[in-house]
Amino acid sequence: MPETSELHLAVALDGAGWHPAAWREPDARPGELFTAGYWADLAREAEAGTLDFLTIEDSLGPQAAGRFTGPDDRADHVHGRLDAALTAARIAPLTTHIGLVPAVVTTHTEPFHVSTSIATLDYVSEGRAGWRPRVSVAPDEARHFGRREFPLLTPENAADPAIAAHISDLFDEAADAVEVVRRLWDRWEDDAVIRDLPAGRFIDRDKLHYIDFEGRWFSVRGPSITPRPPQGQPVVASLAHAAVPYRFAARASDIVFVTPFGAAQAAAIVEEVRAAEVSEGRRLAEPLKVYADLAVFADEVPGAAAARKRRLDDLDGAQFAADCAVVTGTPGELADLLLDWRQAAGLDGFRLRPGALPHDLAQITRALVPELRRRGAFRAGYAQRSLRERLGLPRPASRYQMGAA
């Protein structure tokens, strides 16, 4: 891939930053984490850097220290979140260009409700909405709803065939949920709202369709209450670490966030993703856009980012590690890494997780982005209006429209 081709960048926002001690930084705003103004400021900063989109984390339980630990009783970590989709809808009118991609848990959430929520976000943002379906495996989160019991997932039982089948079922359920949502987005044809004053007709009833979805987990007739979103299909993104979620991404998503720890592993993962597309008989016209996740600590003074991370590690009492590579360095060093990985693996872009907010977000927008522009690897501004256009995804016709493929 030519080094001068445009690199795509997104940012993943979560609380005070991805380091659990980030809320204790001098420039952190822990008293504002649950305010609209805090999230609006982060979104405007990301937009000032002309990033493709931002994602907002969400879950059905309080933040936990590790993948298998479940809820913990630590009082020195940020616990609690605002609803990601509602937060995105609140900050949408305060931004103009950046895409907004909240996480929404599919496992215990009805797809009908998700479809209207994300379609509404697409209207409020005028075509900048996306959605990250998230699978919940936690027993404590299942107990919020009382409809089913989940086994506890641990490092020791992760390879157990019964546990593996359970996880596979959850991702199959999520794929069906996305399919239902996509059909509900298509259930109104684009020109179903006619607003014919002389005839006294607001809609053309012949252009509203039932989806009549019948599957193992859902039976949904439709149509939805919200007209077709401005993008037709808001962008669907998923996070994937292994074979089962790669297959889910191939079935259901437009973008997949992968979590390599080096350039060679990134290349191997891209090959796995492409193989999953073939094995799943990917029905969507476009191949998946593959973004690598990186947790980022950046400072313009050499060595300062690593020193800052060590100080945060000391405050937390543990070395920060993530499900992806953790990078410390200058914006120039980070630019070197991004371009090297992109060249070696054929990545479409990166989703950067700022270690501490707002510091590392500002380092991305005010130092990394200009460095990439100097190298001819990042655009000077926003050219496309919708998120789909910016990502090179065509606007699909409604599958129920007369004559649609």
Secondary structure letter of residue 112 according to DSSP: H
Structure tokens at 12: 């993943």
In angstroms, how far is the first alpha carbon of the chain from the final one?
32
Q: For the whole model, what pTM was predicted? A: 0.94
Strand partners, 293: 351
Cα–chain center distance at 282: 20
Q: Which of 302, 315, 294, 298 is nearest to 357 (CA)?
A: 298
Strands 289-298, 255-258: pairing kind: parallel
From CA 23, how far away is CA 17, in angstroms rounded?
A: 7
pLDDT given for residue 294 in this prediction: 98
Q: Give the architecture (CATH level 2) of 8-390.
A: Alpha-Beta Barrel (3.20)
Q: Quick one: average pLDDT of 364-375?
A: 98
Q: Which of 364, 358, 353 is nearest to 330 (CA)?
A: 364
What does the pLDDT look like over 45-78, one tens digit per residue? 999 999 999 999 999 888 876 555 566 778 899 9
What does the pLDDT look like over 202-233, one tens digit per residue? 999 999 999 999 999 999 998 889 999 999 99
SS in 3 state form for 332-393? HHHHHHHHHHHHHHCCCEEEEEECCCCHHHHHHHHHHHHHHHHCCCCCCCCCCCCHHHHCCC
pLDDT given for residue 405 in this prediction: 42
What does the pLDDT look like over 283-303, one tens digit per residue? 666 899 999 999 999 999 999
Is the pLDDT reported for residue 115 higher than 90? yes
Query: How big is the CA angle at 236 (ends 230 and 242), to the nearest 5 degrees?
Result: 175
55 contact partners, CB below 8 Å, separation of at least 6: 10, 11, 12, 13, 101, 102, 103, 130, 132, 237, 351
Is the pLDDT reported for residue 176 higher than 90? yes
Q: Who has greater pLDDT, 404 or 132? A: 132
CB 255 within 8 A of CB 291: yes
- Torsion, Cα 126 58 294 283, to 10 degrees, reads -60
Q: Which of 236, 269, 17 is nearest to 121 (CA)?
A: 236
Please provide residue 47's backbone torsions phi and psi, each rounded to the nearest 5 degrees.
-70, -35
For residue 289, give the H/E element and its range: strand 289-298
211 contact partners, CB below 8 Å, separation of at least 6: 180, 183, 184, 186, 187, 220, 221, 222, 223, 400
Q: Quick one: average pLDDT of 372-392?
A: 95
Structure tokens at 363: 């380092």
Q: Quick one: average pLDDT of 167-193?
A: 95
Please provide residue 359's backbone torsions phi and psi, each rounded to the nearest 5 degrees.
-55, -55
258 contact partners, CB below 8 Å, separation of at least 6: 240, 241, 266, 269, 270, 273, 290, 291, 292, 293
From CA 91, how far away is CA 40, in angstroms rounded?
A: 5
pLDDT given for residue 1 in this prediction: 38
From CA 258, how far away is CA 315, in angstroms rounded?
A: 29
Q: For the chain, give the mean pLDDT.
A: 93
How far CA 8 is from CA of 77, 203, 263, 387, in Å, comes to: 32, 39, 17, 12
